Structure 1
Amino acid sequence: MSAASGNGLEDESAYRWPIPPAEGWTADDLDRIPGLPPHTELIDGSLVFMSPQTRFHMRCMRLLEHSLLQQAPEHLDVDREFTIKLDARNRPEPDILVVPAEAATCSNQTWHKPEDVLLAIEVVSPDSRERDREVKPRKYAQAGVPHFWRVEQDEEKGLPVVYVFELDPATRSYGLIGIFHDRLKVSLPFDVEIDLTAMNRRPGPPRP
């Protein structure tokens, strides 16, 4: 009997991560690698694991998801923490996505095509600042995602601050449209107004 077995622990080989191929992982590998933690992303062929979620991050996502669902036109839908297969080596997972309702192809679907994504939202976390501020928006823009919101925490108020970007199709880069404190009001990708101070309040009833 091994020491690990004698201590009631599983064999240490169970904790070894799969060895990546020389050229790195592919987007399709995310659905095949056993034992990956939830919300694992693929950036430039490398696996990126998520740190424990903060209360701000969780409540901010809840506010945005419910607000967008209540105000989105019937032909659009909202997904939370769902990956986009940008290309063979990149499959990031935005916190919130707005897509056409018809983009949902089946119950076992695990990713969206970039051409189906109208809006990608990233709520910035301490361990993902560079990815959320630079790497991922650059990749979303290059893939043609027309709208991107970056959400930061106001350190004094503890509330969300939303940076709204729109794609310049000529340069495949984002331009900043506005920075919103307390209340977000935009007309694209559809008319939406969100009370950002309501992050810690319970969401209201769904729209009939």
Structure 2
Amino acid sequence: MIIVTAALKGGVGKTTSSVYLAALASSNRRAAILVDADPQASAADWVENSGDEKLERVEVLEAPTERLLTKALDRVGDDGVGVVDMPPSHERLLNKALDRASVVVIPTRVGGVETPRVEAVLDLVPPSTPVGLVICSARTFTRSYKEALESWVQAGVPVWGTIPERVAITAGPTGPLSLDGLESYRKVWRRALAAARAT
């Protein structure tokens, strides 16, 4: 199973989503591979420096080129899980990953510029590949959040989860994974797993 976390814009929760999903995948399986395709290697830094035991069984492969990405994805076994953290604004590399994706997770935030960027990623995803949104850093009590959720539902785009706005969730390598974050991403993980099994 290969989960591609895709966004054409930075700062929407892509790396956070990838790391939490890899942690959850490794807790349910023997191991998970986190493929960091972003040259900044933020996901790799997070896993290697966090010291969190929930990330101990996550193997990190840095793959910022098409050749390295192909080699990394080839390492995901038949019963394994690979989570790919894609860089923003690298459409060619993203297309390479999407060709191998079992499911695609698109992190987004609430706001006017986000919808066209999500739609641009949706246009790249092969029609047979399941895809779901994750609304990150959400203020769930606001009107704008509720309106955004309604608009995605009306557009027929599944929302697999909402991640509340919490500093601890996006702390990165400076601390352990947040329990709030794990609980919120558990729903995303289960929906991605169910979508992959249904295809």
Q: Could you tell me the TM-score, scaled by structure 1's length?
A: 0.34
Q: Which structure ranks higher in relative contact order (CA pairs < 8 Å, sequence separation ≥ 6)?
A: 2
Higher helix proportion: 2
Whose Rg is larger? 1
